[in-house]
Amino acid sequence: MPSTAPPFKPLPSGEIVYGDLALTSTSARQKSSWLSNLALVAVGIALICNWNRNTQSYDPLLALVGFSIISYVVTLVLIPLLGPEFVRIGFHGRDLGKKDRPLIPETMGAVCALVYLVTMFFFIPFLFYKYIVTDTSGGGNREQGIDIGSTLLHTGQPMRMFPHSKLAEYLAALLSSFSMLVLGVADDLFDIRWRNKLFMPAIAVLPLIFVYYVDFGVTRVVVPKFVYQLVSPNTAELPVTIDLGVLYYLYMLALAIFLPNSINILAGINGLEAGQAFVIAIFLLINDALYVLPSRLFDVSHPATEAHLLSMYFILPLVAVTFALLRFNWFPASVFVGDTYCYFAGMVLAQVGILGHFAKTLMLFLIPQVFNFIYSAPQLFHLIPCPRHRLPKFNIETGLREPSRVAFPEPPKKLQTVMLKLLASVKLIDIEVDSKSGTVVSASNMTLINLVLTWTGPLREDRLAYVILGIQAGTCIAGLLARHTILPMIFGRDNL
């Protein structure tokens, strides 16, 4: 592919730009940045080497915190280094939300995904450290016929069974993430049509669902208390569960399809794709900590602790690389994340919901994404005309974002008119009606971004992002509180 990118050029301030895009800072700031990065790397290495001589123990979670810090630094360094190379090979685009429409590297989410995967690969021996440093029963079927509890090796150490099921689900999750990375890059490269790429996440998550079926196969869900009290008032055992069978696997497939695509749909302004994934990941960490910290601080065990600990293993590096990406993708953005990041981050969030057995809790954190999908459905399914891009309009004179609109060259059909006027009556859409004929001439595009602009009026891009991410954080807080206050009353108990 021939390159149309302009060459490097220096600025009077000492900055270096690629074309009309600044990617690195001044030499003084660079020196300070390198010193802080080296300090962070040193902290990360110290956490990785967290062997406790007194208790003769090693903490994989602390090691992962160290790996996450290093992955943050690596991502922070690689993005400005690789940005010009991405532009050179054709991965670039114009930021239509700026007056000068600067040239910006695209698909930089692939850098985050690669750093994340490498981090998780390096973490494998540290996660299973306690099984590696002691004698285990090995792999294959060597455990058969061996009494693990009574057998002692020649060293006098008890033989321990290696947790192959835990390793299998860990590797299956990485395989799903890697598959999503490949499919995401293919989408950025070939611009695959929506109807063709909609089910790509379902293909990527198949290895994880297969491992879930082999190792767990749990398809039972808790029935709300008022339901089984109506059916059987004398039921003493609480809670009551029902087996969904194959429907549970279809639900997991639907979750894997919905999450990456919903993040990709709720996009179009600087920092929004990475920002919403970052906020959701933070609240997943908080929810995981409610299970993990009591067992560590107060020695209070819970059956779900291990599942939520595994969730933390996948979420922490995602938070680290996403935070580094946000520093470049926030307004005014110097890089675009691309569809690759949306698919990859969405897959990581979906797989922790599956492996951690809290897919329903995860949906409480996705209320803005669910609303945006339902709200966009009339256009997505072409009940109302849907332009290829529904990004908010940029007003060159004011520098603010305004709701983008879809025009009706022909009078809408009766069903469309009724739908549009009904939505307009409840302030969910802004329509323009011809004063003479009374027909709808145009309407604001049906996305959460345009809806916010319809309610608030024109906003600068960063303030618009703050509003939407504030909605995301607010719904996550409400979901977290509902999960541990309201839902226990509905289902009979909280499983904390």
pLDDT in tens, 32-55: 788 999 999 999 999 999 987 777
Q: How far is CA 33 from CA 29, 37, 39, 70, 243, in A?
A: 6, 6, 10, 14, 55
Q: What is the mean pLDDT of residues 198-222?
A: 85
- Rounded Cα distance, 74 and 79, in Å: 9
Q: What is the mean pLDDT of residues 403-427?
A: 91
Determine phi and psi for 39, rounding to 5 degrees. Answer: -65, -40
Tell me the Cα Rg of the chain: 26
Residue type, 475: T
pLDDT in tens, 51-79: 877 777 889 999 999 999 999 999 999 99
Determine phi and psi for 472, rounding to 5 degrees. Answer: -60, -50
Residue the block writes with tokens 């790509």:
200
Q: Token digits for 196? A: 């063709």
- Rounded Cα distance, 46 and 474, in Å: 36
Residue type, 416: Q
* Neighbouring residues of 352: CB distance < 8 A, sequence distance ≥ 6: 284, 310, 311, 314, 315, 362
How many Cβ atoms are within 10 Å of 420's Cβ, its own excluded? 21
DSSP string, 329-378: HSSSPSS--HHHHHHHHHHHHHHHHHHTT-HHHHHHTTHHHHHHHHHHHH
Instruction: For residue 350, name the pLDDT band (cuts at 50, 70, 90).
Output: very high
pLDDT of residue 4: 41
pLDDT of residue 218: 80
The least confident of 194-208, 252-266, 269-283 is: 194-208
The pTM of the full predicted model, rounded to 2 decimals, is 0.88
pLDDT of residue 221: 79
pLDDT tops 70 at residue 488: yes
Among residues 188, 201, 222, which one has the least CA distance to residue 86?
Answer: 188
Residues counted in the chain: 496
Q: 440-444 and 16-18 as β-strands: parallel, antiparallel, unpaired?
A: unpaired
Report whether 277 contacts 346 (CB < 8 A).
yes
Expressed in percent and rounded to 5, the helix, strand and coil fractions of the chain are: 60, 10, 35
pLDDT of residue 232: 61
* Helix, strand, or coil (residue 8): strand
Report whether 384 contacts 446 (CB < 8 A).
yes
Render the burial of 22-52: b for 16+ CB within 10 Å, e for the rest: bbbbeeeeeeeeeeebeebbeebeebbebee
Q: What is the mean pLDDT of residues 373-381?
A: 92
> Degrees (nearest 5) of the Cα angle 228, 223, 485?
110
Mean pLDDT of the chain, nearest integer: 84
DSSP string, 125-184: HHHTHHHHSS-B--STTTTTT--TTT-B-TTSPBPB---HHHHHHHHHHHHHHHHHHHHH
Q: Tell which wins on pLDDT, 287 or 196.
A: 287
Q: Token digits for 17? A: 């730009």
* Helix, strand, or coil (residue 411): coil
Instruction: For residue 473, name the pLDDT band (cuts at 50, 70, 90).
Output: very high
pLDDT tops 60 at residue 140: no
HSE of 119, CA atoms in CB hemisphere, 13 A: 31
Among residues 7, 1, 3, which one has the least CA distance to residue 20?
Answer: 7
How many Cβ atoms are within 10 Å of 125's Cβ, its own excluded? 12
pLDDT in tens, 109-139: 999 999 999 999 999 999 988 777 655 555 4
Residue the block writes with tokens 């966009």:
376
Q: How far is CA 218 from CA 89, 152, 241, 250, 254, in A?
A: 47, 34, 11, 13, 17
Secondary structure letter of residue 317 according to DSSP: H
* Neighbouring residues of 170: CB distance < 8 A, sequence distance ≥ 6: 124, 127, 310, 313
How many Cβ atoms are within 10 Å of 147's Cβ, its own excluded? 7
- Rounded Cα distance, 99 and 460, in Å: 13
- Rounded Cα distance, 259 and 265, in Å: 10
Q: What is the mean pLDDT of residues 79-106?
A: 91
Report whether 90 contacts 1 (CB < 8 A).
yes
